[in-house]
Amino acid sequence: MGKLILIRHGQSMWNLKNVFTGWVDVPLSEQGIHEAIQAGKQLSEISFDVVFTSMQIRAAETAMIALAQNKSDKTPILLHSKGQLEEWSRIYDQKMIDNMIPVHHNWHLNERYYGELQGKNKEETAKEFGEAQVYQWRRSYDIPPPKGESLKDTAERTIPFFEKEVVPELEKGKNILISAHGNSLRSIVMHIDHLSKEEVIELEIQTGQPIIYDYENNQLISNK
């Protein structure tokens, strides 16, 4: 039986400043680093086999900081699949290959693209456009912000990736960690838990709080 652990990155510097971030590559705040450490301690007994993160630094930081708390002797290693980075980061010792936790970056797990809201303060944006409009942009399923992605748009990239890359690893009994973002994970949880468009509006994924599923009999079961 494999396990799937989803974790939203710890608080970022723009979370702290209450700013729409989207695809802007902002690192963790001091609190976010602490959240990643605490998440890692909570997960320290789980021996991970594969890790997936978005391309964004806050998700990668969270994964690596959390894994640094793990009791397994394995080393998480970010894999590169293109050009000279792939060639020059090759490992030539089989013992160290066997001791590795492969970490895969992929843009399909990136945060929802917030378009023209990126870099704007959320409170000031609510004053400009109205709280109801901003709430729709942030929480609804299929209403995108100006020139950005809706949650539906995000799901159209995250779910095929999840089914193609993650589920086959779970079928092999592996323990998988996905470190990503509020909305990319909302779309995946919506898919796993069969939430309706109305139910997903209320779904809030907290920073640095692991969500754990057991993979058993070809289905994911929440382990709360």
8 is in an annotated binding site: yes
**15 annotated ligand-binding residue:** yes
34 given a catalytic annotation: no
Rounded to 5°, angle at Cα 185 from 7 and 121: 95
Active-site pick, 9, 105, 108, 181:
9
135: annotated binding-site residue? no
Q: What are phi and psi of 178, to 5 degrees?
A: -115, 120
Rounded CA-CA distance 74/100 in Å is 5
187 has binding-site annotation:
no
The Cα–Cα gap between 220 and 224 comes to 12
Distance CA 27, CA 60 (A): 9
Quick check: is 9 catalytic? yes
> Looking at 35, 105, 108, 111, which residue is catalytic?
111
Task: Tell me: is residue 207 an annotated ligand-binding position.
Answer: no
Is 64 labelled a binding residue?
A: no
Cα–Cα distance, 45 to 180 (Å, whole number): 21
Determine if residue 22 is labeled as part of a ligand binding site. yes
Report, as residue numbers or ranges, the catalytic residues: 9, 111
Q: Which residues are annotated as part of the binding site for substrate? A: 8-15, 21-22, 58, 111-114, 122, 138-139, 182-183
In the annotated binding site, the residues are 8-15, 21-22, 58, 111-114, 122, 138-139, 182-183
